[in-house]
Amino acid sequence: MRTSMPFLRKLGKLVLILFALFAVYAVWASYAEPPRIAIGNVVGPDEEYHVSQLIDSGIDLVNRTRAEAGDGIYRRDAHAKTHGCASATFTVNPSTDSRTALGVFAEPRSYKAWIRWSNADPGLHSDWAPDAHGMAIKLLGVPGTKLLPAEANEHTQDFVMVNNPVFIVRNIEEYTEISRDLGNGGTRRYFFPGWNPLNWRLREARLAMGLLKFPPPRNLLSDRFYSLTAYRLGTGNFVKYSVKPVPCKGSDDTPGRWAGFGANALGASLARQLCGKKKYCYDFMVQFQRTDRYMPVEDPTIEWDESASPFIPVARIEVEPQDVSRTMTNHFCENLAMTPWHSLPEHEPVGALNRARKYVYPGSSRYRRCQNGFGFGEPLDDGSMTFDTRPCTATEAAPQAGER
């Protein structure tokens, strides 16, 4: 026993030293900035291959969520759980910066709009499970030819956002890998591919912890949302978007109470608040890329420094009191399709993840809507819960972007 004690003490010290070294490595690896890349829009050589893989993964996720829910409904491959949809007014502000006066921001005017709040995960889990949350805005009655050839004559413009300023993957290769893992039931292998810590994606794991909010947001009407990815504004600038809750005119507060503790607390809270007498407001803002700072288009894990390039309010969103349950019970909310490629050329999505969305989003949305027997199309300009749709059958192949 006496001879073993010094050995055990030495072994204990060695274990502590190794643990300390690993802790230092883990902290360094999780905060070390990745290699810098060009800040502009750069198309990679293998994007078409990865897009085809992403389309397959998206359909797999749609089918997986349907099987897990057990109710026969085909939902989105991501943002599957709808918290609620509401009609809104999107009013463009008079321009205070000539760089913003383009596209839908070209002149002061108001658009009718639909807003959808959702989770971000493919599943339908409790609102108290760690998850990000989305806010997608669809403007109605937007004139001009749109980017998708198959929908060039539609009158909608979409903005798609999440309640976090950065994403967890850097490029389309990583996006393909994590999407494949999600389709297989989890992402552990993406972050920890094997037993070698040198291969672990600790920075991405840290970003994922920031994205998967826990506890959940106090209130969907008081949370801030970000575009994650970049967009053109005109031909000479790249921007990101953000939506921030603000007091409405004549008011001095924004909602701040907790939604509650139920599995569907966020949606129930949203419905309860919008059934009251109060309206809720957001500032819609743009942030310009600065070329003298590291603000890359192709790496959505890099946050554009807001102190160096502040967000500029370009429009005010107003959500009037309403019964949001009506959009849920008639399938209108579930049948909405949100994609940043429902867009005027002045707001073209840029970066590899956005270029993938051009094909992945239409393929997934048309697949689920055709399988559900809803048909596919865009809402009418008048703000009614009516789609300008054309029918499709459950066995019809989902058309890709650019096909009729």
Name which of 382, 362, 389 is nearest 113 in CA terms: 382
* Residue 398 counted as domain residue: no
* Residue 310 counted as domain residue: yes
> Which residues form the domain of 328?
33-61+76-362
Share of the chain above pLDDT 90, in %: 49
Cα distances from 221 to residues 52, 116, 258, in angstroms, run: 36, 12, 11
Q: Rounded distance, CA 351 to CA 358, Å?
A: 11
Helix runs in 250-399, H state only: 265-274, 325-329, 332-335, 352-372
Checking if the pLDDT of 119 tops 70, the result is: yes
Phi, psi of 146, deg, nearest 5 = -95, 170
Least confident of 51-65, 99-113, 114-128, 254-268: 254-268
Checking if the pLDDT of 321 tops 90, the result is: yes
Average pLDDT over residues 18-46: 84
Q: Rounded distance, CA 242 to CA 224, Å?
A: 7
Q: Rounded distance, CA 236 to CA 298, Å?
A: 17
* Residue 25 counted as domain residue: no
Higher pLDDT, 391 or 302: 302
* Residue 16 counted as domain residue: no
Task: Report the predicted TM-score, pTM, of the whole model to 2 decimal places.
Answer: 0.92
**Quick one: pLDDT at residue 237?**
96
Strands (E), 188-279: 225-226, 231-233, 237-246
**Quick one: pLDDT at residue 403?**
37
Furthest C-alpha separation in the chain: 87
* Residue 399 counted as domain residue: no
> Residues 177-219: pLDDT tens digits?
988 887 777 778 888 888 888 888 999 999 988 888 777 777 8
**Quick one: pLDDT at residue 371?**
86
Count of domains forming the chain:
1
* Residue 275 counted as domain residue: yes
Average pLDDT over residues 319-329: 91
Helix runs in 184-251, H state only: 188-191, 202-211
Average pLDDT over residues 8-33: 80
Residue 69 pLDDT level (bands cut at 50, 70, 90): confident
Question: Averaging pLDDT over each range in 43-47, 61-65, 179-183, 282-286, which range is the top one?
Answer: 282-286
- Residue bearing tokens 């048909």: 375
> Residues 335-384: pLDDT tens digits?
899 999 999 999 999 999 999 999 988 888 888 888 888 777 899 999 99
**Quick one: pLDDT at residue 160?**
97
Residue 3 pLDDT level (bands cut at 50, 70, 90): low
Checking if the pLDDT of 400 tops 50, the result is: no
Higher pLDDT, 266 or 21: 266
Q: Rounded distance, CA 73 to CA 62, Å?
A: 9
* Residue 334 counted as domain residue: yes
Residue 402 pLDDT level (bands cut at 50, 70, 90): very low
* Residue 180 counted as domain residue: yes
Q: What CATH number does residue 258 fall under? A: 2.40.180.10
* Token pair recorded at residue 402: 């650019």
